[in-house]
Amino acid sequence: MAEMVFEFEVNGKIEQLTAEPGKTLLYILRQNLGLTGTKDGCSSGDCGACVVLLDGKPVNSCMVLGPQADGSSVLTIEGIAKDGQLHPVQRLFGETWAFQCGFCTPGMLISCYALLESNDNPTRDDILTAIAGNFCRCTGYQAVVTAVQQAAAEMRAANGGAGND
Ligand code: FES
Ligand code: FES
């Protein structure tokens, strides 16, 4: 199949590359750009290991073809740390043991990051809804809820205590 040229922004950097039009965003990220933090758990839209933000919305990147992402902005797990500092929810996943093998963790973190971008004080149900498409076979979900709620509290405090609790 003939290759086509793609251009999109990934983690704030404009990337140009050639790939077959049938190649998924997941494999463009992993193979063309070397961003292997985004995982392939099922290749069929079921597990959430491959979640990235596409124009600010969480998507299963195994279900997005390159042409659908062309011209878009993509955020992967490699892009959520800032100035050498882990995002609070990344750090708190570690501190609260919200992972074991870590295979689901990049996708889980992107879903949690997206939630925190839109909701600075998520309830347990908000968090469980946000990660409903992220399957973890190791840890369970309670530590994830704890990590997200602690991250939200930290972020509210850093923003001057805004919030509704
Ligand atoms: S690898 Fe994409 S949802 Fe499982
Ligand atoms: S930590 Fe192993 S699958 Fe979630």
Q: What pLDDT is stored for residue 162 in this prediction?
A: 57
Q: What is the distance in A from the centroid of ligand 2 to the CA of 141?
A: 10
**Spatial distance between the Cα atoms of 157 and 77, rounded to a whole number of angstroms:** 24
Whether the predicted pLDDT of 163 surpasses 60: no
Give the tokens for residue 41. Answer: 């758990």
pTM of the entire predicted model: 0.95
* pLDDT tens digits, 32-60: 999 999 999 999 999 999 999 999 999 99
In order of start, what are the domains of the chain with their CATH numbers? 4-79 (3.10.20.30), 88-158 (1.10.150.120)
**Spatial distance between the Cα atoms of 58 and 75, rounded to a whole number of angstroms:** 9
* pLDDT tens digits, 56-115: 999 999 999 999 999 999 999 999 999 999 999 999 999 999 999 999 999 999 999 999
Q: What is the distance in A from the centroid of ligand 2 to the CA of 105?
A: 7
Whether the predicted pLDDT of 139 surpasses 90: no
66's CB contacts (< 8 A; 6+ apart) are 4, 6, 19, 20, 21, 22, 23, 24, 25, 28
Q: What are phi and psi of 159, to 5 degrees?
A: -90, 15
